Amino acid sequence: MALLSIENLCVELEGPEGTYRLLDEVNLLLNKGQCLGLVGESGCGKSMTALAIMGLLPQGMRAHGSILVDGEDLLRAEEERLCQLRGRKMAMVFQEPMTALNPVVPIGRQVGEGLRLHLGLTRHESETRATQSLARVGLPVERFPLGLFPHQLSGGQRQRVVIAMALACGPDILVADEPTTALDVTVQAQILDLLAEIIDEFDMGLVLITHDLGVVAETTDTMAVMYAGRVVEDGPTDEVFRRMAHPYTRGLFAAMPSHSSDGAATRTPLSTIPGRVPDALSRPAGCPFVTRCGFATDVCHQSVPQMEALGHRHGAACFNIARGEVDQ
Amino acid sequence: MTLFLVKRLIMLVATLLVAAVVVFSVLEILPGDPALVMLGVSAQPDTLAALRAEMGLDQPAWLRFFQWVGGLVTGELGRSYTYDVPVSELIVERVVVSLPLAVMALTLSTVIAIPLGVIAASRHNKPLDIALTGAAQFGIAIPNFWFAILLILLFSVTLQWVPAGGFAGWDAGFWPAVQSLLLPAFALALPQAAILTRVTRSSVLEVLQEDFVRTARAKGLSRNAALWRHAVRNALIPVITILGLQFSFLLAGTIIIENVFYLPGLGRLLFQAIAQRDLIVVKDLVVLLAGSVVLVNFLVDVGYAVLDPRLRSGGGHV
């Protein structure tokens, strides 16, 4: 059984001008010890998916479909049960380490809090475990005492604290929402390596949200490309990289800066995808990408393409692939 | 931390000095010769001159200013013209009424307002929140002397639980003394609590939007646990700022409330001293009150440092 299985997840927000559909029939699968990359532009629903997995969607949003963790549907669980699962079964690493930590609480207590809550440890026991957790992420207690406050640490160190906090209770699923976006380039690699090590060591499943395709290639086993609240292409990462099919995926890859062999950037201008992501209220009736797609035909304007299998577990939602219009 | 507090301490002394200059100059400029008031308008010029010399009023202003400030520093506050006793004695007699009153009022307003503000924020836009916000609006709108009269009517006249006015004195025992301060403290606390409730509510609402509250929820804390353990302490920083500012309004309030309840406190002393042109008492009292406001603001700064570790270490990024 899959560790995490998301089926037909829809998230809606009731607004003054109608219902905004922020996520539309999202299907995702994550196995133990694996890393699933979620890729897409800002506003495509990556973070919303992460919050839905944690059961922390902002108030006023409704989710339907199902999010199965070890067979238990989170969308049908009571809030009390969700509190038991959060931090224990699934944990989250946030994008902004500068604001994700409470500025007035020492780091040791922030890491130990979940331990006391979920495992019923005493203050002393939780401190011992917090020390181990922090040491595991590269913050040994000799140099980083438990009494330090977040403002005394650098961004990378704070993100390590956030990771230690997420790891503390040994969760099965780790959701990392752009964990390196706010960090320096040199620190980014360290944090990604740390996450990869931890997944192996604890045999967890990692959902890694990013817009950096380089990160996806290096870190993830499977990936899903999201656009305007939908998954438009997914599959094993190497398969998708080798045989990407959806016009949006191709546009995304083409927009990646390339480097010539001597390391200098090539002189050709950076490729872009024309237009911008339609917001949740003004999405087109048919394929969500139709307004920006070079291959769009009448059918694309009329109905929404469904996922078509392209290979082993590799699929894309585009009418033109099925018709062979998009050259492979 | 130490540097921060030393800086604040220097500010405290400087503020007091400025307050002393302002009070002295204002009373210097104001018409009304204390010697003339004491002797009456029909006094003989030579008697008047003799009294002025005795009171030191014939000396130049700058000399009298330094004598006065020197006296303040050494605790030699001068003699009241009307009571003919040392001012320090008068003040000590009254402080034992006013200080407990102020402390009780501040405690009451904090104890009432902070939980109510947090609860209102946690029920944002729900009926309880709307009811509490509405009640707070009422509390701000009601003048405290009028509220005091209502309290007297209900608790003293109708229910006869507490005396309507006057002060039993601490000699009469702890409970009777506290009893006579209870209603005035409530009357003083009401508008303060109303404002504090609103400030706490909006501050908590703001903090609840912060990322670290979501982090706490992601750890498995319930909404309430995240609220009380992570949001409230961060939200209290602006609240204690207001608390410090309110202290000066509290002092102004005591002048009125002590008159409504016939309490022999500093507020009433100040009121009487002004009416009787007992300028030395006025000067000393105003500096004393200014001093207590400055001191409370100093304590507020200490409170920041206790609540916010970023201030303790002195620099760092904010």
Chain A residues interacting with chain B (CB cutoff of 8 angstroms): 54, 56, 79-80, 83-88, 91-92, 94, 96, 99-106, 113-114, 117-118, 149, 151-152, 162, 165-166
Number of folded domains in chain B? Answer: 2
How far is the C-alpha of A316 from the C-alpha of A309, rounded, in Å? 7
How far is the C-alpha of A178 from the C-alpha of A182, rounded, in Å? 8
Q: What angle do CA A265, A268, A273 make, to 5 degrees?
A: 105
Instruction: Look at residues B49, B74, B99 and tell me which one is the last residue of a structural domain.
Output: B74
For chain A, how far is it from start to end, CA to CA, in angstroms? 33
Q: Do both B183 and B287 map to the same domain? A: yes
Q: Do both B141 and B40 map to the same domain? A: no
Say yes or no to pLDDT of A268 above 50: yes
- Is B95 a member of any domain? yes
Which token pair is A237? 């990462």
What's residue A38's pLDDT? 94
Q: Do both B36 and B104 map to the same domain? A: no
How deeply is B281 buried, as exposed, middle or buried, from its count of CB atoms within 10 A (0-12, 13-18, 19+)? Answer: buried
- Is B318 a member of any domain? no
> pLDDT-based confidence at A54, cuts 50/70/90?
very high
Among A103, A106, A117, whose Cβ lies nearest the Cβ of B219? A117
Q: Do both B224 and B145 map to the same domain? A: yes
> Bridge partners of A14?
A19
Among A84, A94, A102, whose Cβ lies nearest the Cβ of B230? A102
Q: Do both B106 and B251 map to the same domain? A: yes
ipTM of the modeled complex: 0.86
> Bridge partners of A314?
A311
Which token pair is A180? 């390196």
Would you tell me how many other CB atoms lie within 10 Å of the CB of residue B313?
Answer: 13
Q: Could you tell me if B315 lies within 8 Å of chain A, comparing CB atoms?
A: no
| B307/A104 touch (CB, cutoff 8 Å), yes or no | yes
Q: Which of A210, A213, A307, A288 is nearest to A7 (CA)?
A: A307
Q: Searching chain A, which residue's CA lies closest to the CA of residue B230?
A: A102
DSSP string, B202-216: HHHHHHHTSHHHHHH
Contact (Cβ atoms closer than 8 angstroms) between residue B218 and residue A90: no
Contact (Cβ atoms closer than 8 angstroms) between residue B167 and residue B263: yes
Say yes or no to pLDDT of A69 above 50: yes
Among A84, A101, A151, whose Cβ lies nearest the Cβ of B212? A101
Q: What is the DSSP letter of A259?
A: B
Write down the H helix ranges in B56-210: 61-74, 87-122, 127-141, 144-151, 174-208
CATH of the domain at B255: 1.10.3720.10
Among A103, A117, A149, whose Cβ lies nearest the Cβ of B220? A117
How far is the C-alpha of B195 from the C-alpha of B188, rounded, in Å? 12
| B217/A103 touch (CB, cutoff 8 Å), yes or no | no
What's residue B318's pLDDT? 35
Q: What pairing do the DSSP bridges indicate for beta strands A230-236 and A314-316?
A: antiparallel
Q: Could you tell me if B224 lies within 8 Å of chain A, comparing CB atoms?
A: no
Interface of B with A in 183-212 (CB under 8 A): 210-212
- Is B317 a member of any domain? no
Q: Do both B268 and B183 map to the same domain? A: yes
Q: Searching chain A, which residue's CA lies closest to the CA of residue B305?
A: A104
Q: Could you tell me if B233 lies within 8 Å of chain A, comparing CB atoms?
A: yes
> Bridge partners of A29?
A5
Which token pair is B127? 């009926």
- Is B134 a member of any domain? yes
How far is the C-alpha of A151 from the C-alpha of A13, rounded, in Å? 36
**Helix count (H) and strand count (E) of chain B?**
14, 0
Q: Searching chain B, which residue's CA lies closest to the CA of residue A82?
A: B220
Q: Which of A138, A179, A109 is nearest to B309 (CA)?
A: A109
| B218/A54 touch (CB, cutoff 8 Å), yes or no | yes
Residues 6 or more apart in contact with residue A210 via CB below 8 angstroms: A37, A38, A39, A178, A180, A181, A216
How far is the C-alpha of B306 from the C-alpha of B318, rounded, in Å? 16
Q: A4-89+171-322: which CATH topology?
A: Rossmann fold (3.40.50)
Q: Searching chain A, which residue's CA lies closest to the CA of residue B308?
A: A104
Beta strand spans in A214-280 (E): 222-227, 230-236
What's residue A267's pLDDT? 63
Which token pair is B152? 């007297």
Contact (Cβ atoms closer than 8 angstroms) between residue A208 and residue A176: yes
Q: Which domain holds residue B21?
A: 2-74
**Maximum pairwise Cα distance, chain A:** 67
Q: Do both B162 and B301 map to the same domain? A: yes
Among A94, A96, A118, whose Cβ lies nearest the Cβ of B220? A118
Q: Do both B145 and B123 map to the same domain? A: yes
Chain A residue numbers touching B212 (CB-CB < 8 A): 99-103
| B222/A114 touch (CB, cutoff 8 Å), yes or no | no
Closest approach of chain B CAs to the CA of A80, in angstroms?
8
Average pLDDT for A290-309:
86
Q: Which residue has 């406050």 as its token pair? A: A149
Closest approach of chain A CAs to the CA of B299, in angstroms?
19
What's residue B317's pLDDT? 38
pTM: 0.81
Q: Do both B153 and B296 map to the same domain? A: yes
- Is B79 a member of any domain? no
Contact (Cβ atoms closer than 8 angstroms) between residue A81 and residue A95: no
- Is B81 a member of any domain? no
How far is the C-alpha of A135 from the C-alpha of A141, rounded, in Å? 7
> pLDDT-based confidence at A44, cuts 50/70/90?
confident
Interface size, chain A vs chain B, as Cβ–Cβ contacts under 8 Å: 80
Q: How far is CA B288 from CA A62, B92, B284, in A?
A: 60, 12, 6
Which token pair is B62? 């700058």
How deeply is B45 buried, as exposed, middle or buried, from its count of CB atoms within 10 A (0-12, 13-18, 19+)? Answer: exposed
Among B216, B229, B310, whose Cβ lies nearest the Cβ of A151? B310
Which token pair is B10? 């220097």
- Is B290 a member of any domain? yes
Closest approach of chain A CAs to the CA of B113, in angstroms?
22
Give the residue extent of every domain in chain A: 4-89+171-322
Contact (Cβ atoms closer than 8 angstroms) between residue A232 and residue A44: no
Q: Do both B165 and B29 map to the same domain? A: no
pLDDT per residue of chain B (318 residues) written in tens, 0 to 9 = 677 778 888 888 898 889 899 988 988 887 777 777 777 777 788 888 888 887 777 888 888 888 888 888 888 888 887 788 888 888 888 888 888 899 899 999 999 999 999 999 999 889 999 999 999 998 888 888 888 888 888 888 888 887 777 887 778 888 888 888 888 999 999 989 999 999 999 999 999 999 999 999 999 999 999 999 999 989 998 898 888 888 878 888 888 888 888 888 888 899 888 888 888 888 888 888 888 888 888 888 888 888 888 877 644 433
Contact (Cβ atoms closer than 8 angstroms) between residue B113 and residue B139: no
Q: Searching chain B, which residue's CA lies closest to the CA of residue A110?
A: B216
Q: Which residue has 């199965």 as its token pair? A: A68
Q: What is the residue type of B168?
A: A
**Burial readout B137-173 (b: 16 or more C-beta within 10 A, e: otherwise):** eebeeeebeebbeebbeebbeeeeebbbbebeeeeee
> pLDDT-based confidence at A328, cuts 50/70/90?
very low
Q: Do both B124 and B57 map to the same domain? A: no
Contact (Cβ atoms closer than 8 angstroms) between residue A162 and residue A175: no
- Is B82 a member of any domain? no
| A99/B210 touch (CB, cutoff 8 Å), yes or no | yes
Say yes or no to pLDDT of A32 above 50: yes
Q: Could you tell me if B300 lies within 8 Å of chain A, comparing CB atoms?
A: no
Would you tell me how many other CB atoms lie within 10 Å of the CB of residue A231?
Answer: 27
Instruction: Look at residues B30, B45, B74 and tell me which one is the last residue of a structural domain.
Output: B74
More confident residue, B278 or A28: A28
Q: Could you tell me if B171 lies within 8 Å of chain A, comparing CB atoms?
A: no
Chain B residue numbers touching A56 (CB-CB < 8 A): 214, 217-218
Closest approach of chain A CAs to the CA of B302, in angstroms?
15
How far is the C-alpha of A305 from the C-alpha of A317, rounded, in Å? 5
Contact (Cβ atoms closer than 8 angstroms) between residue A241 and residue A311: no
Contact (Cβ atoms closer than 8 angstroms) between residue B281 and residue B68: no
Q: Do both B171 and B64 map to the same domain? A: no
Say yes or no to pLDDT of A327 above 80: no
Instruction: Look at residues B74, B100, B122 and tell me which one is the last residue of a structural domain.
Output: B74
Q: Which of A22, A9, A5, A100 is nearest to A60 (CA)?
A: A22
